[in-house]
């Protein structure tokens, strides 16, 4: 059922100051480029000034310094992007799933499933598992033996949760995510790899989102821990015994090796790699594509990426890079030569 709000109604719910017609009626959010007269958009970067000037949106959310850049009805607020997120939630509410158990689902007699939960076709809830209130277990998803899914969580189709894991409240887990598979625990012995049984669990806090095809391994002995409010994008790999601190956000394709500890309020850019057994304090930002090879004890932004170039230029510079120590030696020799000349001359 579509919803509609006037600007005044939006501001009365979410705060902010209306400039222009407070009765402008809004039915949905839209982008600067494509929003129509019954849609509200947002403006948060000066580089989009041209788009703001051209927008056909019915209203716009923007910051105080930008409010003079347009004449259309607007809501002025401190954090336009976050405000817009809340506006979009207003127009796109998530409703609880319709309770029920599909006849093609398989629910163990020893599992405890709330009557308000919905279990879709092909889903499995194994022995001793617990599924909370208003949880949605999507088609073909699997909740392993003894695992629990907190209230209001949503497992999209084809999620796998192995045995003895705990998912907190309001989780959103996207398709293909695998929670609790064995960590990569192997020990070498005379040229053979011996498997170390992975007997820890995965413990996931409240309000965590896990992207499609992301994997979070169970602990080797102790547990792997993802704290409250963590957001993981797609195809992230979290090794065994990792700790991800509360309210940290990790972009797509990131790999975090075993026993690394990531602080709270960190951001890890796409395809970054954190090696094992490292510790990153709270408030660290790792740039996309960066490999972190030592612990980081100070907040801040850290980067390590080879700057791309036209192939020919890159090849020339890369070849020299392999001989950088010789170049440094030659500079040192020149300095030495001139020092001697100075002395002698």
204-233 positions binding a copy of itself, by CB under 8 A: 209, 211-213, 215, 217, 221-222, 229, 231, 233
Nearest partner of 202 among 186, 183, 227, 219, judged by Cα: 219
Q: Tell whether residue 193 is a contact of a copy of itself (CB under 8 A).
A: yes
Cβ distance to a copy of itself smaller for residue 18 or 161: 161
Cβ distance to a copy of itself smaller for residue 22 or 121: 121
- Residue 191 beta carbon to a copy of itself: minimum distance, rounded to whole angstroms: 6
- Integer Cα distance of 116 and 131 in angstroms: 10
Q: Tell whether residue 234 is a contact of a copy of itself (CB under 8 A).
A: yes
Q: Residue 1 burial (CB < 10 Å; 0-12/13-18/19+)?
A: exposed
- What does 196-247 look like in DSSP terms, one character per residue? ------EEE-SS-EE-TT-EEPPPSSS-EEE-TT-EE-TT-EE-TT-EE-TT
Nearest partner of 10 among 94, 95, 93, 88, judged by Cα: 88
Q: What are the beta bridge partners of residue 284?
A: 300
Cβ distance to a copy of itself smaller for residue 18 or 124: 124
Q: Tell whether residue 252 is a contact of a copy of itself (CB under 8 A).
A: yes
- Residue 23 beta carbon to a copy of itself: minimum distance, rounded to whole angstroms: 24
**Number of chain positions touching a copy of itself (CB under 8 A):** 123
- Residue 217 beta carbon to a copy of itself: minimum distance, rounded to whole angstroms: 7
Residue 18 per-residue DSSP state:
E
Span 304-333, contacts to a copy of itself by CB under 8 A? 304-311, 313-325, 327-328, 330-331
Rounded to whole angstroms, what are the CA distances from 221 to 53, 196, 275?
A: 58, 9, 19
**Could you confirm whether 265 is annotated as catalytic?**
no
Site string for a copy of itself, 93-132 (x = CB under 8 A): -x-------x-x-x-------------xxx-x--------
Question: Of the residues 174, 240, 277, 323, which is catalytic?
Answer: 240
Which residues are known to be catalytic? 240
């Amino acid at each position: 059922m579509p919803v509609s709000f006037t600007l005044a109604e939006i501001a009365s719910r979410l705060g902010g100051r209306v400039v222009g017609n407070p009765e402008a009626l809004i039915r949905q959010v839209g982008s600067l480029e494509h929003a129509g007269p019954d849609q509200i958009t947002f403006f948060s970067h000066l580089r989009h000034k041209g788009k703001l000037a051209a927008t056909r949106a019915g209203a716009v959310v923007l910051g105080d310094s930008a409010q003079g850049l347009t004449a259309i009805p607007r809501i002025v607020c401190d954090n336009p992007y976050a405000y817009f997120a809340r506006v979009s939630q207003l127009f796109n509410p998530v409703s609880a799933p319709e309770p029920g158990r599909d006849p093609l689902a398989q629910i163990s007699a020893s599992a405890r499933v709330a009557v308000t939960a919905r279990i879709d076709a092909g889903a499995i809830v194994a022995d001793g598992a617990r599924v909370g209130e208003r949880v949605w277990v999507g088609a073909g998803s699997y909740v392993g033996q003894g695992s629990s899914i907190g209230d209001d969580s949503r497992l999209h189709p084809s999620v796998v949760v192995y045995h003895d894991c705990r998912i907190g409240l309001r989780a959103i887990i996207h398709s293909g995510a695998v929670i609790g598979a064995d960590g990569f625990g192997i020990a070498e012995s005379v040229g053979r790899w011996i498997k170390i049984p992975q007997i820890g669990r995965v413990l996931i806090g409240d309000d965590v989102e896990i992207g499609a095809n992301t994997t979070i391994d169970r602990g080797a002995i102790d547990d792997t821990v993802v704290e409250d409010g963590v957001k993981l994008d797609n195809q992230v790999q979290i090794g065994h015994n990792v700790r991800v601190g509360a309210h940290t956000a990790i972009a797509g394709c990131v790999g975090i090796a075993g026993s690394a500890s990531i602080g709270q309020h960190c951001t890890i850019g796409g395809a970054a790699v954190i090696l094992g057994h490292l510790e990153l304090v709270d408030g660290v930002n790792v740039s996309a594509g960066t490999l972190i090879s030592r612990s980081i004890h100070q907040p801040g932004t850290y980067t390590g990426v080879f700057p791309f170039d036209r192939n020919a230029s890159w090849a020339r510079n890369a070849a020299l890079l392999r001989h950088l120590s010789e170049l440094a030696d030659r500079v040192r020799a020149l300095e030495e030569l001139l020092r001697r000349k100075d002395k002698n001359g």
